[in-house]
Amino acid sequence: MLATSMHAQPGVYAVLLGSGVSTGAGVPTGWGVVQDLVRRAAAAAAPGDSGSLQQAQEDPEAWWADHGEGDLGYASLLQTLAPTAAARQGLLARFFEPSNEDRDAGIKVPSRAHHAIAQLVKRGLVRVILTTNFDRLMEQALDAAGIAPQVITRPEAVNGMAPFAHAEATVIKLHGDYKDLGTRNTPEELDDYPDEWNTLLRQVFDEYGLIISGWSADWDTALVNALETSPNRRYPLYWDSRSSKSGTAQRVLGYRKGLVIRGAGADELFDDLVASVDALERLSQPPLTTAMAVARVKRYLPDPVHRIDLHDLVMNAANEVADHIAAQPLNGLDAAQAQGIYEGYREAVAPLIHMLTTGVWHDQDGIHDSLWIDVLQRLVDAGTTPISSAIRWLDHARLWPGLLAMTAMGVASVRRDREPLIIRLATEVRGRGRMGTADPTEAAQLMHPNRVLAADLVNNMPRWEGQRWLYPASHLLKADIRRFFEPFIPLDADYVEAFHGYEYRLGLIQEHSKGLGRYRALSGEYAHEDRWSHEGVPFAEVAFRQAGERSRDWPWPALLQTEDLDIVLTQHREVLAHYRDRF
């Protein structure tokens, strides 16, 4: 109910966070800090008096009445124990600022609840956050999400604040900030609010629905009064069951006709809320166009918060291709119909390839390389699902989407000097050929272009109008992938150089892994006689050596298991010369 309402009317709910949200992150409550400071004052005032220390632990208010000056409060304690700002900051740091050990343990840092709320704010679903906590975890989570909220920590700041509608987010710290001597903590301090607070709360409780978490209502008399005396005309109140068990909370729920969300603490409540809103968002979205999908890839790539969103976006596209592969016939088709089969596969995988080329092109640091490898593995798995029977070329054609995707990512990698990704795609992705029954084979061999694409079948496609190619598989791949690089490599000559560079690299991997029943380096247009220098060196080899000179960490000697790459490249040249001379 809450998720549906938030999704339908974004921005109409405010959030009220109590101490339970912060204690779940390992941060003490304000009263907890007061208790600890009283205990410290007792220990410092009378080091050998165990009775005084025990009284301070059991009844801090009584101890302060006997030994302190003025009323017990956050301000009076800090002024007694740390009279200067620098001293106060040092005293409070241990309570609120994480040490390296704290960070390793995941405490005193924003919790799942804080980050989930930040995501709700980023999506425009929540604009107002009330909190009784005076730590800065909520502000830190918002900052991590790229949101700069206006933060109100003192009643006198209300008159100068921007209207809620004009701020991306507003955080109202009803009890103050931990570095502010005006912080409210004791029962007396919480008994009544200044007029500015009450006026602001009446506006929030009247104009917004409310989601309460981690607040028991036991101690905050002024906040309870504000809830019970404010109008209740528009949107409902929701309260997690873990913190709404007190008699006061039940009274507020009854008065405002509030609803309890069963069995949910703060982390579960807000995580589940984000997930539910996500599900509703997916239902309401029209089918993504390729342009929209590519735009999302660009938006998600640099943002760690959207890592899962990027994964889901790209993998969903891969799953759609897998469904297309599963639906294709495997028997009864002749060569004249092959073009339609291959073009159908190509169009099915085209949106995914647009996303992959964009992702690889802009993911210069390789942060998402594991995702690109997972996508290729998904396509290989779909193309090698065990089947009982099939015409051989139709069985191999199931890997055509994977071969297109691997080649496109490889060409992008060549152009962007992403050599490790080429190697990982070719060697880490594995699948079972022969209708899913063979031993696992790495992608460089499994999707060898001369294995996936039968030369005669390609040359007989009507699209060529009778023209025949010396290297049919190479020519088809180069032609079908060109369009995906128009935004990145506008000149045909530059595209051809990058494509031939990928063919050369893939051939190195294949030749290195050759053996019984395995294919040698692919023959391709990169090995054609017009692609050699007057000195008898393939242009692709020349460009490969130049790329090695630019690289700080050239991975090829390690892959090819050699300390003298020149020897390997010279030997490989002889293999390519055989392809040149044979045709």
Q: What is the pLDDT of residues 499-550, one digit of tens each?
A: 999 999 999 999 998 776 788 999 999 999 999 999 999 999 999 999 999 9
Question: Given the structure tokens 């079948």, which residue do they identify?
Answer: 457
How does pLDDT run across 332-371, given as a tens digit for each residue?
555 567 788 899 999 999 999 999 999 999 999 999 999 9
What does the block give as tokens for 516?
């019984």
- Residue 147's alpha-carbon distances to 21, 112, 209, in angstroms, are 20, 17, 22
Within 10 angstroms of residue 466's Cβ, the number of other Cβ atoms is: 7
Mean pLDDT of 373-398: 92
Residues 449 and 503 grouped into a single domain: yes
323 lies in some domain: yes
Q: Answer yes or no: do 327 and 345 share one domain.
A: yes
Q: What is the pLDDT of residue 348?
A: 94
Q: Is the pTM of this model over 0.85?
A: no
pLDDT (0 to 100) of residue 75: 62
Dihedral sign, CA of 360, 364, 368, 370?
Answer: positive
Residues 388 and 504 in one domain: yes
Going by C-alpha positions, the residue among 209, 198, 176, 217 that lies closest to residue 18 is 217
Which among 103, 126, 151 is the end of a domain?
103
**Alpha helices per DSSP H over 11-71:** 19-23, 30-45, 50-58, 60-67
For residue 25, being part of any structural domain is answered with no
What does the pLDDT read at residue 78?
67
Is 513:444 a contact under the CB 8 Å cutoff? yes
**318-343 mean pLDDT:** 81
In a domain, 540, yes or no: no
Q: Could you tell me which of 415, 400, 311 has the C-alpha nearest to residue 357?
A: 415
Q: What is the pLDDT of residue 289?
A: 86
Whether residue 50 sits in one domain with residue 152: no
Are 421 and 372 contacting, i.e. CB atoms less than 8 angstroms apart?
yes
Tokens of 39: 């205990």
pLDDT exceeds 70 at position 393: yes
User: Which domain covers residue 127, as residue numbers?
Assistant: 2-19+112-176+203-281
Report how far residue 557's alpha carbon sits from residue 511's, in angstroms, rounded to the nearest whole number: 14
Question: What's residue 332's pLDDT?
Answer: 59
Residues 152 and 134 reside in one and the same domain: yes
CA angle, 315 then 434 then 394, to 5°: 70
Contacts for 512-520: CB closer than 8 Å, 24+ residues apart: 512/559, 512/560, 512/561, 513/442, 513/444, 513/445, 518/445, 519/445, 519/448, 519/450, 519/451, 520/575
Q: What is the pLDDT of residue 180?
A: 72
- 36 versus 465: the higher-pLDDT residue is 465
Q: Quickly state the pLDDT bin for 169 (edges 50, 70, 90).
A: very high
* Single-letter amino acid code for the residue at 43: A
Residue 342's CB is within 10 A of a number of other CB atoms, namely: 21
How many domains does one find in the chain? 3
In this prediction, residue 89 has a pLDDT band, given cuts at 50, 70 and 90, of low
pLDDT the model gives residue 22: 85
Least confident residue range of 96-100, 248-252, 295-299, 449-453: 96-100
Domain annotation covers residue 192: no
Whether residues 373 and 235 fall in one domain: no
Per-residue confidence at 392, pLDDT binned at 50, 70, 90?
confident
What tens digit of pLDDT does each residue of 19-43 get?
888 887 778 766 677 788 888 888 8
pLDDT, residue 101, reads 83
Please report, for the domain that includes residue 118, its CATH number: 3.40.50.1220
What average pLDDT score do residues 247-254 get?
A: 92
CB atoms within 10 A of CB 431: 24
CA nearest to 340, candidates 483, 465, 462:
462
261 and 325 together in one domain: no
Tell whether 80 and 224 lie within a shared domain. Answer: no
Domain boundary among 526, 554, 570: 526
pLDDT of 53 above 60? yes
**Has residue 496 been placed in a domain?**
yes
Of 264-278, 419-433, 445-459, which range is least confident? 264-278
Long-range contacts from 421-424, C-beta under 8 angstroms, 24+ separation: 421/360, 421/366, 421/369, 421/372, 422/502, 422/505, 422/506, 423/509, 423/555, 423/556, 423/559, 424/369, 424/373
Closest CA to 372 of 337, 326, 408, 331: 408
What is the pLDDT, as a whole number, of residue 37?
82
Measure the CA–CA gap between 333 and 392, rounded to whole angstroms: 11
Is there a single domain that holds both residue 37 and residue 8? no
Looking only at Cα atoms, what is the longest distance across the chain? Answer: 104
Return the closest-CA partner of residue 521 out of 460, 568, 461. Answer: 568
> Is 129 within 8 Å of 117 (Cβ atoms)?
yes
402 closest CA partner among 499, 321, 316, 500: 321
pLDDT band at 233 (very low <50, low <70, confident <90, very high): low
Domain edge (last residue) among 223, 252, 281? 281
Q: At 158, phi and psi to the nearest 5? A: -65, -40
CA distance 33 to 52: 19
Note whether residue 121 is domain-resident.
Answer: yes
7 and 125 belong to one structural domain = yes
C-alpha 431/C-alpha 442 separation (Å) is 7
Give 43's strand partners.
none
CA distances 285 to 4, 254, 279, 290, 533, Å, are 15, 37, 10, 14, 54
**Does residue 459 sit within a domain?**
yes
Same domain, yes or no, for 310 and 354? yes
- pLDDT score of 186 more than 60: no
Cα torsion 320, 321, 325, 328: sign: positive
Within a domain: 568: no
How far is Cα 562 from Cα 559, in angstroms, rounded to an integer?
A: 8
Mean pLDDT computed over every residue of the chain = 89
Top mean pLDDT of 24-33, 234-243, 247-256, 401-410 is at 401-410
The three-point CA angle 306-310-316 to 5° equals: 140
Whether 523 and 578 have beta carbons less than 8 Å apart is answered as no
Q: Are residues 412 and 511 in the same domain?
A: yes
Give me the residues paired with residue 17 across strands.
Answer: 131, 213
Confidence of residue 145 (pLDDT cuts 50, 70, 90): very high
